[in-house]
Amino acid sequence: DIQMTQSPSSLSASVGDRVTITCRASQNIISYLNWYQQNPGKAPKLLMYSASTLQSGVPSRFSGSGSGTDFTLTISSLQPEDFATYYCQQSYSIPYTFGQGTKLEIK
Amino acid sequence: EVQLVESGGDLIQPGGSLRLSCAASGFAVSNNYMSWVRQAPGRGLEWLSVIYSGGSTYYADSVKGRFTISRDNSKNTLYLQMNSLRAEDTAVYYCARHSSGYYWFDYWGQGTLVTVSS
C-alpha cells in the first residue's frame, strides 16, 4: 500500500497569512494526488485533483503543486472559512489512501 | 443536483451485521464509480471499497472478507453490507462518487454513524 504523510499535523495561522501544507507519498504516484477540506461534523469537500487542478467553485487562493512523491497545497491569503482540516489522497492505486490530515487553526 | 444520502447506521454489538444504504439522485450510480470511506471518531479518512461502473469491486485489507459493496440500479442506491463487526469499525461512514472515470471523489454524502459496542 502507498503511505501518505502530511506535514505539519497542525498549523496555527492568522487571517491573511499564506500557508503551505505538504504531502509525501511512499512511492512515485506521478500526479495522482488530490486534496480535500473537511469542516467539523461535515463531509470532506474536493479542493484539488491531479495535484494542481482546482475543482470547480473552489477559490483561486488555493493552489497545488508537485509530482512524483512530494506535493504541496498552498492557501495564498487565509480567509476565516479556510480554518479546517485538510487531507491529501492518492488515486494512483488501490487502496486509495489518505494522509493523516492537517488541522489549520486560528492563531 | 447531485445528492448522496446515507442511512442505516446504528449501535450494534461486536460480531453483528449491518447494511448501509446510500441513495443517489441527480446521476446514475450504475454509470459512475462509487466508494465507501469511513472516519473513526477524531481520526482521519480511510477508504474502504469501490464498485466500478462495470461492476468490479475492490476492498481495503481491513474490511476484505467482512464487507461487501453492491448497488441496486433500479433504486439508484449503493450499499455496504458489513458483517463480523468489530469495535474498531466504529466510525462515520461516507459514500462518495468518483468524478467521471477518475479516482478522486467529487461528491460525498453527509455520513452515517456506526457504533460497535456491547
For A64-103, give one letter per residue: b (16+ CB within 10 A) or e: bebeebebbbebeebeeebbbbbbbbbbbeebbbbbbbbe
Mean pLDDT of chain A: 97
pLDDT digits (tens, 9 = 90+) for A7-62: 999 999 999 999 999 999 999 999 999 999 999 999 999 999 999 999 999 999 99
- Single-letter residue type at B5: V
- Residue pointed to by grid coordinates 506521478: A30
d(CA B58, CA B51): 7
Confidence (pLDDT) at B101: 80
Q: What is the mean pLDDT of residues B53-70?
A: 97
Q: Are A23 and A33 in contact (CB under 8 A)?
A: yes
Pairing relationship of beta strands B45-51 and B34-39 according to DSSP bridges = antiparallel
| Binary contact (B104, A100; C-beta < 8 A) | no
Is the pLDDT at B102 greater than 90, yes or no?
A: no
Residue B100 has pLDDT above 90, yes or no: no
pLDDT at residue A38, rounded to an integer: 98
Predicted confidence band of residue A2 (pLDDT cuts 50, 70, 90): very high
Put simply, the answer to whether B108 touches A32 (Cβ < 8 Å) is: no
C-alpha to C-alpha distance for B62 and B88, rounded to whole angstroms: 10
Q: Coil, helix or strand for B30? A: helix
Taking residues B58-84, what's their average pLDDT? Answer: 98
SS3 A47: strand
pLDDT of residue B78: 98
Is pLDDT of B97 > 90?
yes
Which residues of B make CB contacts under 8 Å with A?
A: 35, 37, 44-47, 50, 58, 60-61, 94, 99, 102-106, 108-111
